Chains A and B, each alone.
Chain A
Amino acid sequence: MIYLDNAATSFPKPPEVTAAMRHYADKIGASPGRAGHRPAAAASRLVFQARERLAALFGIADSSRIIFTKNVTEALNLVLFGLLEAGDRVLVTGLEHNAVMRPLRRLEKSRGITVDILPMTTAGQPDPAVLENWLTSRRYAFAVLNHGSNVTGSLLDLAAIVPRLRRERITVVVDGAQTAGALPLEVEKIGLDVFCFTGHKSLLGPQGTGGFYLRPGLQPRPLIYGGTGSRSEAEEQPEFLPDYYESGTPNTIGLAGLAAAAAFIERESPAAIHQRELHLVRRLEEGLAAIPGLTVHGPPPAAGDRLPVLSCTIANLSPSEIGLQLERRHGILVRVGLHCAPRAHRTIGTFPTGTVRLAPGYFNTMAEMETVVAALADIAAAAG
């Protein structure tokens, strides 16, 4: 079996992730931040370590500014529903996931916000003329930007766009679902106001983990209220971080795994991980470009930095038929369709049928990439 669905969730995980989760389950078990006994202290240390390691990985000085949620979708919801007000105008890229588009469409109806969707170049960057025109003629309160496309693998050039947005005093929220753990990141240096991440993709942690970074001075309303283990005598929510946003018993077993995953990434180094994955996807780019009847959708081959995510279609075959043949005849697991990102597929012209998405991960091999190229060549030849 060749698992090429790492953009949905990474598999396998490093062995130390499962080991850390098992250790918590078998040897600790207690709730963090809720009691004075030793297992509770050990559980609290695990959660603290998860925050510290992610802060180091993302270039964030104060780890209390990392707030945990169950995934990036919850983080984005918290931030968008917690910050946006009636009349706000919001700028988004044309490659957003429904984790961004659905909360925004809801807020259009319920709070009367306005959403402007940027047209994109084939390299996955905002059309520079349109961006400049809109920034000078309209007043934006927020920009919500997908850092890395889960459909095409294109990377948004944050270093170029964020300073421009900040000059207009626009609050910049970044969806880092695909990039957290996949490459070196300097969240505070780039100047992001909010950076949302999910634990189970390139961070190599378990499902049910995710969160966001909040820059000092920003204070969205919480999504939920309740017990935090702190200020227990008060019936009002304590406003310090991270407790303000983390009511209820956390996913300690998941965070134990996430801490181990972050340690693994730190040890391997995000730069080395990125290089390895880039190497794999370059081989796919090259191999697929030579297959008649097959079209790659997204940045042109060898055209600068990208993620190990690649979309393609084959003439006369539906994506679901290709996916079925890949699995049944070749043991290759991919994801077909719209990838929860209809907006991105509209932007690249593959709506509504979608594409076949190949998403190798850190544990895939070059030999597997050869097998995948050969399998797709086979399927395309039979269809043509």
Chain B
Amino acid sequence: MENDLVLLLFDSIHQVMQAEQLLERRGLAIDLVPVPKEISSDCGLGITLPAAQLAAARAALEAAAATLRPRLYRRLGRGRYQPLADRETG
């Protein structure tokens, strides 16, 4: 479980940048990654972070702006993602 990664996808590049700034300031272990083509052809970048930090990340995003509601995916392996069910998103 410790190595579990979650992928956060946003509507716009502006939101990605906003989220990156917010989460970095919280000291969360985030990484900016190319959006896997399997999921979307959108603005190109998503954010990954350890699943264990997801609750903290979501709290930080929601506190900053109601519009910062990413779509969430669990990384299953190379190029394989699965949408997180609501009850898993804390």
Contact = CB atoms under 8 A, between A and B. Distances in A.
A37 B34 contact: yes
A205 B81 CA distance: 43
Contacts of A48: 13-14, 17-18, 21
Interface residues of A, number: 28
B41 A62 contact: no
Contacts, number: 70
A24 B41 CA distance: 26
A33 B41 CA distance: 12
A40 interface: yes
A346 interface: no
Interface in A215-250: 228-233, 238, 240-243
Contact of A242 (B14, B16, B32): B14
Nearest to A232: B41
B82 interface: no
A233 B41 contact: yes
B32 to A, nearest CB: 5
B17 A229 contact: no
Interface of B: 11-18, 20-21, 32-35, 40-45, 65, 67
12 contacts: A33-B44, A36-B44, A40-B45, A41-B32, A45-B17, A45-B20, A63-B18, A229-B42, A232-B42, A232-B43, A241-B14, A243-B14
- CB-CB nearest 4 A-B residue pairs: A36-B34, A33-B13, A48-B17, A229-B43
Given A36-B44, A229-B12, A240-B67, 5 more contacts: A40-B45, A44-B16, A63-B18, A231-B11, A241-B14
